[in-house]
A and B are shown apart, each in its own frame.
Chain A
Amino acid sequence: MAEILHYTFIQNALLAAIMVSIISGIIGSLVLVNRMTFLTGGIAHSSYGGIGIAIYFGLPIFLGATLFAIASAILIAYISFKERHRLDIFIGLVWAVGMAIGVIFVDLTPGYNVDLISYLFGSILAVSKEDLLFMGVLLLATLLFIHRYYKEILAVSYDSEYASLRGINAKLFFSLILIFSALAVVVAIKVVGLILVIALMSIPTYIAEQLSSSLYKMMLLAALLSTLFTLVGLLLSYNFDLSSGASIILTAATALLLFIIVRKILH
């Protein structure tokens, strides 16, 4: 068992898993308390459009996905300010149109037959040095953002109307949280793929929310749980030769089920 840790690609995979888990624990907490799960789902799926375009033009795929996801986040933020009560329809549109753009651009790419499944379900063993750098920078940016603006983020998330009465730009912070969630989605695609990213961002955070008396405790606990589920999932996927993304999500889902049962028994 221990000898596999000597392989560079395993080391990279573990490092990526830990960084992405921490990011998704923190940003996932913000997404959950702001009830943005569906919005983030829209961003995650639409980012496939960016992947398709990047493949077609021969650009770095991470870059394409990132730019596209940020654009989707800004669009969704704009729609949620303008068309609050019809938001679900527009999110569904962004979700589907993004994916459709991706599919068409991949179709148009001559001779392209890379395994699409790796984007849909993750490919953690193929994490590159550049990916790791990107994840590291995003982790640092996330920590700085939370540390610097914790009170503002807390106020906007809990009661945005009151926050704006106290001079906090609620729309700006709402948009920033969405943009960070877009970035978290892009790095999480590497680990669990875009289909499963919402589960990674919402299962550990849901458990953490129930057990925490403050937002920062929730973020810490969610990051820890997320890391735990990801590492256990990876171990299972290695031992039984299963897909890593799916193993991680099923590990998390099993933990959630146990959590719900234990909670029922205790109450």
Chain B
Amino acid sequence: MSLKEGIEREILLEVKNLYFTYDKEPVLKDINFQLYQGDFFTITGPNGGGKSTLIKLILGLLPLQRGEIKKSNLIKEPIEIGYVPQNTNINLEFPISVIDVVMMGNGKKHNSIKSFFKIGYSQMEIECAKQSLARVGMQEYLYSKISHLSGGQRQRVMIARAICSHPHLLILDEPTSSIDIQGQKEIYKLLKELNREITILVVTHDLTVISHYSNRVLYVNQSGFLHNLHNNRYKVDANSHFCEVELMEKLGAQNG
């Protein structure tokens, strides 16, 4: 990333000297990074390295122990951050339709006498859910039962839920860990599209995402190491296979 880029774009989120301890075990140590508006920011690192903990601290699902998480005014309210949790394959038998799941993203409604007599969703709410679903290509599934969808489709619905409230930041925790390869590619393509309007913060192990979509990567293993990816340096074709083996080969080739 060039210096110029950093100056032009607004800082959305700033994490400073963040520590977190769970049951006396240190999970995070002195994490520092800034998230700029428009970033496609990846958090990567080994399992148990503290990635999900970091995300939960940002979301406010865990209490801050030491350090600072400064949020810009754009994401001050919880409703302005969209979130796609890990493991959306749990609770599969739950009797819930796509529209119900998406409407959860809209948050608490003002309860009035009038709303007490209202049953079901208003026309406006249905329109909002339809719009979100259209953005992820799932508009035909409005009334489908969630368990009848494939893993990739379900993940799209979860993204629709997260963007339903028109957030400025979208946080995803391993969004492709339990879906097939084709579904994964489609999810990345979708995220790339969404990234035109929404800043994206994604936890993943997937090297394709890191090399092809992200502009910045934070490697977290208790402590963090920030990588700014220069354009086109390691760019690979998103449709081809790319894993640690190719990475080693590329690095080897450069050294040789």
Contacts and interface: CB of A to CB of B under 8 A. Distances in A.
A42 B107 CA distance: 33
A215 B100 CA distance: 10
Contacts of A120: none
Contact of A161 (B78, B85, B106): B85
Contacts of A155: 104
Nearest to A149: B111
13 contacts: A151-B104, A154-B96, A154-B104, A158-B94, A161-B61, A161-B85, A165-B60, A166-B78, A213-B144, A213-B145, A214-B95, A214-B97, A215-B96
A162 B111 CA distance: 20
Interface residues of B, dominant DSSP: loop
B93 interface: yes
Interface string B3-46: 00000000000000000000000000000000000000000000
A159 B143 contact: no
Interface in A206-234: 208-210, 212-215, 217-218
B109 interface: yes
Given A151-B103, A159-B104, A167 B78 contact: yes
Interface residues of B, number: 29
A164 B95 CA distance: 20
Contacts of B93: 209-210
Contacts of A161: 61, 85
Interface in B59-90: 59-61, 78-79, 83, 85
A264 interface: no
Contact of A33 (B94, B100, B161): B94
- A-B pairs with lowest CB-CB distance, top 8: A166-B107, A213-B145, A212-B95, A218-B95, A167-B108, A155-B104, A213-B97, A214-B97
Contacts of B151: none
A215 B79 CA distance: 25
Contact of B108 (A152, A154, A162, A214): A152
Contacts of B94: 33, 157-158, 215
Nearest to B82: A165
Interface in A177-223: 208-210, 212-215, 217-218
A33 B109 CA distance: 23
A163 interface: yes
B91 interface: yes
B69 to A, nearest CB: 15
A162 B85 contact: yes
A155 B91 CA distance: 13
B100 A214 contact: yes
A148 interface: yes
Interface residues of A, number: 27
A168 interface: yes
B79 A166 contact: yes
A168 B85 contact: no
B61 A165 contact: yes
Contacts of B111: 148
Interface string B94-118: 1111001101111111010000100
Contact of A158 (B78, B101, B106, B119): B101
A217 B145 CA distance: 12
A159 B108 contact: no
B97 to A, nearest CB: 5
Interface in A227-251: none
Nearest to B148: A213
Contact of B95 (A151, A166, A167, A217): A217
A165 B94 CA distance: 20
B97 A165 contact: no
A151 B116 CA distance: 12
A158 B108 contact: no
Contact of B104 (A163, A209, A215): A163
Given A165-B83, A167-B108, A154 B100 contact: yes
A143 to B, nearest CB: 12
A161 B96 CA distance: 17
Contacts of A218: 95
A168 to B, nearest CB: 6
Given A165-B59, A166-B79, A158 B104 contact: yes
Nearest to A168: B108
Contact of B96 (A167, A210, A214): A214
Nearest to B111: A148
A212 B96 CA distance: 8
A167 B161 CA distance: 15
